[in-house]
């Protein structure tokens, strides 16, 4: 009988030990899965940040390209304006003198008109007139004389 009790004890002990091992394995598996999910969450967060940084870099590069192309377009426009002026043939001296004085005289006339309008306006209208005529006069001055580069000989 003792051998049967020993056998039953061994079977019961093995079963309990097996169940305990399974329970410990499941518990370890639970913590391992939780750790894996936490790692995946951190990895995805990192990947998201990397994608955002990559997108920001691409956007900054595209913005820099756009600004570069805009600046290049402005330089091409200036070059075309100078080239167009260079294609105008020289004429009589008095015609060249009038052509050379057109922009300065128009600028002086625009500033004189601005001054006359401002002097004749009342205090209420002067602010709006100052803004509008100053904008026009400064824009014309800078545009007319800003694209007048020295001509290559």
pLDDT tens track for 123-140: 777 777 777 777 877 777
pLDDT band at 148 (very low <50, low <70, confident <90, very high): low
pLDDT band at 41 (very low <50, low <70, confident <90, very high): very high
CB 140 within 8 Å of CB 69:
no
What are residue 39's phi and psi, to 5 degrees? -65, -45
Q: d(Cα 11, Cα 18) in Å, to the nearest integer?
A: 10
- The pLDDT of residue 58 is 92
CB 44 within 8 Å of CB 113:
no
pLDDT band at 151 (very low <50, low <70, confident <90, very high): low
pLDDT tens track for 50-96: 999 999 999 999 898 888 887 777 777 767 777 776 677 777 788 87
- The b-or-e profile of 117-131 (16+ CB within 10 A means b, else e) is eeeeeeeeeeeeeee
């Amino acid at each position: 009988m003792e051998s049967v009790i020993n056998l039953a004890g061994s079977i019961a002990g093995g079963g309990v030990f097996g169940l305990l091992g399974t329970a410990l394995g499941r518990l370890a598996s639970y913590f391992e899965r939780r750790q894996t999910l936490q790692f995946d969450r951190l990895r995805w967060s990192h990947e998201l940040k990397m994608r955002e940084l990559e997108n920001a870099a691409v956007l900054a590069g595209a913005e820099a390209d756009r600004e570069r192309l805009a600046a290049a377009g402005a330089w091409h426009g200036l070059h075309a304006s100078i080239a167009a002026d260079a294609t105008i043939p020289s004429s009589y001296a008095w015609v060249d003198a009038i052509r050379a004085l057109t922009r300065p005289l128009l600028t002086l006339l625009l500033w004189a008109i601005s001054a006359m309008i401002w002097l004749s306006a009342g205090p209420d209208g002067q602010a709006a007139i100052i803004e509008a005529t100053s904008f026009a006069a400064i824009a014309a001055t800078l545009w007319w004389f800003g694209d007048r580069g020295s001509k290559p000989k």
